Amino acid sequence: MRRFATAFLPMLLLAGCASAGAGGGRSLAAGTPATLATGDTVTLPDASTLTYVGVTSDSRCRPNVQCIQAGTAIVAFKHAMGGMTHDVVLDSGKAPAADLGDTWRLVLVSLDFASPPNATIRVDRR
């Protein structure tokens, strides 16, 4: 019995690691802010997933720099639900929120100046 357990323990551990990564490993409760790094995926309460793809354009005025305009950042996400995936694009200045299907509204709370930027988001019920 001991040899059996020793032989199969590594496979069980690897299977646990694989299943944890498949769903993003992190759940996001409605109304709770979360900070995501580029490539991070979170699971929403309805089991759909949201992946932070990254910033595709950034004209924001950096800290401690005097600018004529504040600028904006275009932030890309992928929302996957029921085998379908669609792109979600937020504009930090003009449209910092977007609907995710009929249930959720994605809100860009903040975007830091790290390289690449981390996005703090919140998902609210519509």
Contact, 86 vs 55, CB < 8 A? no
The domain 24-125 having CATH identifier 2.60.98: the answer here is yes
Distance, CA of 36 to CA of 38 (rounded, Å): 7
pLDDT tens-digit map of 1-17? 555 444 444 443 433 43
The domain locations on the chain are: 24-125
**Of 26, 124, 24, 117, which Cα lies nearest the Cα of 75?**
117
pLDDT tens-digit map of 41-55? 999 999 999 999 999
pLDDT tens-digit map of 64-89? 888 888 889 999 999 999 999 999 99
**Cross-sheet strand order for the sheet of 73-81:** 41-43, 49-58, 73-81, 84-91
pLDDT at residue 38 greater than cutoff 60: yes
- Mean pLDDT score of the chain: 85
pLDDT at residue 21 greater than cutoff 80: no
CB 124: neighbour CB atoms within 10 A? 14
